[in-house]
Structure 1
Amino acid sequence: MKTFKNPIIPGFYPDPSICRVGEDYYLVTSSFEYFPGVPIFHSKDLVHWKQIGHVLDRPEQLNLDQTPNSRGIYAPTIRYHDGVFYMITTFVVSQTGARKNFYVTASDPAGPWSEPHWLEGAPGIDPSLFFDDDGKVYYTGNRKPPSGRQYKKHNEIWLQELDLEKKQLVGPTYSLWDGALKNAHAQEAPHLYKINGWYYLIIAEGGTGHTHAVTIARSKEVTGPYEMTETNPILTHRHLGNHHPIVNVGHADIVETQHGDWWMVCLASRPYGGYYRNLGRETFLVPFIWEDGWPIVNPGKGLIEEEMEFPNLEEHKWPELPYADSFEADQLDDRWNFLRTPRGDFWSLTERPGYLRLKAKKETIMEEENPAFVGRRQQHINFLAQTVMEFTLSSANETAGLVLLQNHQYQFRMEVILENGQTFIQLIRREDGIDEEVAKEKVASSTLYLKVEARGQAYSFYFTEKAFDWKELAVGVDGTILSTDKAGGFVGAYLGMYCSANGSESTNAADFDWFEYHGIDS
């Protein structure tokens, strides 16, 4: 039996949404405060995915200035209708601020995508679009019930027609998931489908933590009333305990293959070293069948497995991406991101060809700002990352190096500093906003090689002034501060290159010749 391994997209790629166009599959995920926003992937077999860009890749589409950690772009949905791709999502301004819903369109999923169409009168988060047989288009989302919450995390799933010409919601609103369906809580992420004459409404419920779940209801009319199946939730791992290798399963979208098989993509996490989820919420794949008009997920088992039977599709592997980026291209690889919308001329691939130049912005990575940081996701429990940096410090305010980031309050910084006219490489462990010096060594060269190896939650840091003649800086450091279980929020760990003048103005810059990242054996 041919099998595949979950997750299909490892690392911080949560809230997956999927659509099929002929024999091609497209998938998007949340991106929160990172820019570009909403990574988009292409597959032919549901297992092997190639990133083809980002939906929100222009600053005029996505203003993330001062967006707090784990806010920003939530739960996108991708749909295709009549030659046009639609991506709809929520921009969460702050913890308690506005939730702004909008959609963009494209004829090519690789872009360019349109400017945002902001929707008035659309409260709540996690919007989705449904194209009905009669030509009408419907918006679904969640919101606080108009009559007020009657129990903890009481949300309502609601529906309204979307006029694509006016690009606005029109007509009455309808409550789809409330009243008789109150035995669900924290209702969110609604997706509507019409299958065999029934309107099916799939939602995420139970909160995005350990009690996360996938729940379903159906109706003969798009506006309801909806009834739940007695077998709800149709997918969850909350009953399997904290020691199961796959946890917090939920937030699903479904797709039918060209051969009539049904598959579900959803988010889940892989804790390790205890209930710590440094990799964040990842994208998983699981089959289901229809039985008596309701989905049965992974029949006979009812859960997601690490290894599962390959879909009934011809295997289509993409060329493997290189481990190392030598920065020879004229633009950054799609795996790289900025923290918030990049402002100012602080990075370049052309000022010194073959190098990524990061200029010493005054903003720091210890603030909810846009620092001179270029990072990528941690995608493996065991990994190696290394880079070489050229940086001559000109003041005690300046610093540059390698950062492992959960957020501005939880991070590791392996950085060069200047003290009393001498240059040092130091490792800073930052927890709950407090910096702790883990190790510090004197260095003489302006060229430094930096490396981190992680084996589970043991992170080891190395440096050298001569190529690959590694010296220990700190070995076996506890990496659990990179988990949301300590740091809070919804994002996974990042790692990348950093330069800052720590609040001062500077014209200095650090040059990075290459950056290598890959998984390693435990």
Structure 2
Amino acid sequence: MKLSSIRLAFVLLAQLLAPVWSQNSTFHNPVLSGWHSDPSCIQHEGTFYCVISTFITFPGLPIYASKDLLQWKLIGHVWTRESQLPGYSWNTNGQQEGMFAATIRENKGIFYVICEYLGVSGKKPGVLFRTTNPYDETTWSNAVFFDAPKIDPDLFWDDDGKVYVATHSVVIQEFDLATGRTGPAINIWNGTGGVWPEGPHIYKKDGWYYLMIAEGGTATDHAVTIARAKKVTGPYTGYERNPILTNRKTQEFFQTVGHADLFQDTNGKWWGMCLATRSGPQYQSYPMGRETVLFPVTWNKDEWPILAPVRGVMSGWALPAPSREVPGTGPWNVDPDVYDFKSGQPIPRNLIYWRIPRDGAVTATDSGLQLVLARNNLQGAPNGNQNGATRAISFIARRQTHSLFTYSVDLTFAPTANNQEAGVTAFLTQQATIQLGVVQLNNQLTFRFATNGTNSSPTSKTQAVPTAWVGKPIRLQIQMSSINTYTLSAMLASDTKTKIAIGTGRGELLSGGSGSFVGTLVGVYATCNGNGSGLDCPSGTPNAHFQRWRYTGAGQFVSATATVPTVVDMAKSEV
């Protein structure tokens, strides 16, 4: 990058951040961009922590930490070992089952994450994890299991030391942290009449118990409502001005606003985080799914909280000073990926799988990130009726965290039989993908571009790999240079001037449908497309190697027409 471009980037950064930490701060949403749904957040000793939903992706339940509410570091995941939930992941067939909305809370130096895992019959869905050190993901405990009558558990300590769990509809039960034993379920509020009264959180302030929930479903009628009582078990009375937060029936770019959590900074000012979708009222193209947004909250004594409406450009309380002084080794959410893999190197923390991978399926080697070809392709039957689809997908990816971005990897792959394939993909679910693979067809090395969307017919087209490229590393690229179009290209890794645009896919393909709760991942896959038996490809099938993994953001939309630049460490901005 030229020096003038670097200087321009830093000028833009200064312009962006100059007003942010004044008395009346200005900032941009989303603060956790990309698929980060159902946030729950706290502040502890000057650091903010958030957990989000991850459904069947693994590792699950990421913990993000921040000193300034705008820059968020992935410090670890709660669910990192199959032994924490034995038998759960591999027996989950659905695309949007698994880890539903979690709550994070801290009490007496112990961090707790409580969640419900849906989709496995014969097992208790309620799970509770704990640690005294969220910066070391190996310290999260095995799950304490409990019977959860409803989804979206909250965790609340009353002044008398009793602990309660509240779930949707809204039901509250006394809860034993050590054993998972729950007391009788008491219905405390049904909301204001919207469907799916869920995501409850209880707060005690000025002698009142406040119960805040989401209702209206998670689409464009999503809203936040609130009630209060003098006893934790009620009766609760709803606020006459509900909902206290929503963008329903508006023309705003940020839609589906809801599922909020509230917390204070070290100055006693209240803030909230919730999910939102950058879809506009059309609600047709939103490939990053549900993202996390920040808003200020005014909460005076004995009064109801006032939540600032969610917009792309926000004003609020003075924010904490900008800081990246957060412990741990994980990446910052909007930073670029610059990964050159070596043997024995841990897999970068922001790379995730679709369910727990088979042992040895993905390994860092000196030849690159090695993927063992899987018998099922990315569309391996999600209902589990095709050769163990829940375990036989070879795939690893990262969240798409920018409206505009470029992602690329160098592929070294020498297929020895027809239908052996490896490539890159923009992936929502097994029923919604855009992908570009290098595959042997009719004994010829071929590019195969394919799309698969819930609301469209699958498409596929092929073209021969140039003869001069055979046997050489090929760079595969996914680029989004407009708000709604993915362009997938190939080039010789040694000569980017050879770049060929193979195909394009629309953002609508990766929006809603089979993935209404999740968001787009970009990454790599390898498959023998059904050859072999059981879970395995035929003996002797070669592995695929991916090197020089790069992801760089180029901009974020804060409205349907306006973008803000993404400022990154310029030393890492290779593409």
Say which of 260, 279, 283 aligns to 1:252.
260
Q: CA 1:322 to 1:304, structure 2 compared with 1: closer, same or farther past 3 Å?
A: closer
Asked if the contact 1:38–1:55 (Cα under 8 Å) also holds between the matched residues in 2, the reply is yes
Q: 1:306 aligns with which of 313, 332, 350?
A: 313
Distance 1:186 1:294 in 2: 23
**Distance in 2 between the 1:274 and 1:312 partners?**
31
Helix, strand or coil at the partner of 1:60: helix
Q: Report whether the alignment pairs 1:497 with 2:524.
A: yes
Taking the aligned partners of 1:488 and 1:165, their CA distance within structure 2 comes to: 35
Within 5 A, what are the aligned runs for 1:8-407? 8-62=31-85, 63-65=88-90, 66-93=92-119, 100-110=125-135, 111=137, 112-120=139-147, 122-142=148-168, 156-170=169-183, 172-178=184-190, 181-241=191-251, 244-271=252-279, 275-291=284-300, 293-298=303-308, 302-309=309-316, 311-317=318-324, 321-328=335-342, 330-349=345-364, 352-353=365-366, 355-367=368-380, 368=382, 369-370=390-391, 371-407=393-429
Moved more, 418-427 or 229-238: 418-427
Q: Please say if residues 45 and 311 of structure 1, whose CA atoms lie closer than 8 Å, have aligned partners that are also in contact.
A: no
Q: Distance in 2 between matches of 1:274 and 1:124?
A: 28
TM-score (norm 1): 0.90
Aligned counterparts of 2:313 and 2:463: Cα–Cα separation in 1: 41
Cα distance in 2 for partners of 1:470, 1:235 equals 51
1:468 aligned to which of 467, 481, 496: 496
| Aligned 8 A contact 1:137 1:163 in 2 | yes
> Given the superposition, is the C-alpha separation of residues 365 and 213 from structure 1 closer, same or farther in structure 2, using an over 3 Å criterion?
same
Q: Does 1:426 align with 2:418?
A: no
Once the two structures are TM-superposed, the CA of residue 461 in structure 1 deviates from its matched residue by 1.8
Whether contact under 8 Å (1:9, 1:283) holds in the other structure is: yes
Question: What displacement does 1:185 show?
Answer: 2.9
Would you say the 8 A contact 1:427–1:473 is kept in 2? no
- Structure 2 vs 1, CA of residues 11 and 303 (structure 1 numbering), >3 Å: closer, same or farther? closer
SS in 1 for 2:249: helix
Q: Write the distance in 1 (CA, Å) between the matches of 2:406 and 2:421.
A: 23
SS in structure 1 of the partner of residue 174 of structure 2 = strand
1:44 deviates by 1.2
CA apart distance, 1:388: 0.3
Amino acid at match of 2:246: T
Q: Is the 8 A contact 1:139 1:161 kept in 2?
A: yes
Change (3 A) 1:498 1:475: closer
Distance 1:140 1:361, change over 3 A: same
Question: 5+ unaligned residues in a row in structure 2: which ranges?
Answer: 1-18, 21-25, 326-330, 383-389, 556-562, 564-575
What is the distance in 2 between the residues matched to 1:376 and 1:305? 24
Q: Deviations over 1:4-24 (max 9, x none)?
A: 211110000100001121111
Does structure 1 retain, via aligned residues, the 8 Å contact 2:194–2:217? Answer: no
Aligned to 1:452: 478
SS of 2:509's equivalent in the other structure is helix
Shift of 1:81: 0.4
Question: Does the C-alpha gap of structure 1 residues 166 and 436 become closer, same or farther in structure 2, counting only changes over 3 Å?
Answer: closer
How many residue pairs were aligned? 496
For the residues of structure 2 that align with 1:408 and 1:348, how far apart are their CA atoms? 22
Structure 1 residue aligned with 2:510: 482
Change (3 A) 1:195 1:470: farther
TM-score, with length taken from structure 2:
0.82
Tell me which amino acid in the other structure corresponds to 1:323: D
Alignment partners' CA distance in 2, 1:508 and 1:311: 56
Deviation of 1:61 after TM superposition, in Å, equals 1.9
Q: How far is the alpha carbon of 1:305 from its aligned partner?
A: 4.0
Aligned-CA RMSD value = 2.1
Aligned twin of 2:28: 5
- Going from structure 1 to structure 2, the CA distance change for 1:167 and 1:400 (only over 3 Å counts) comes to same
CA separation of 1:12/1:51 partners in 2, compared to 1, >3 Å: closer, same or farther? same
Deviations 1:136-179 (A, max 9, x none): 1001002xxxxxxxxxxxxx201111122433213x3211113x
User: Which one has the bigger strand percentage?
Assistant: 1
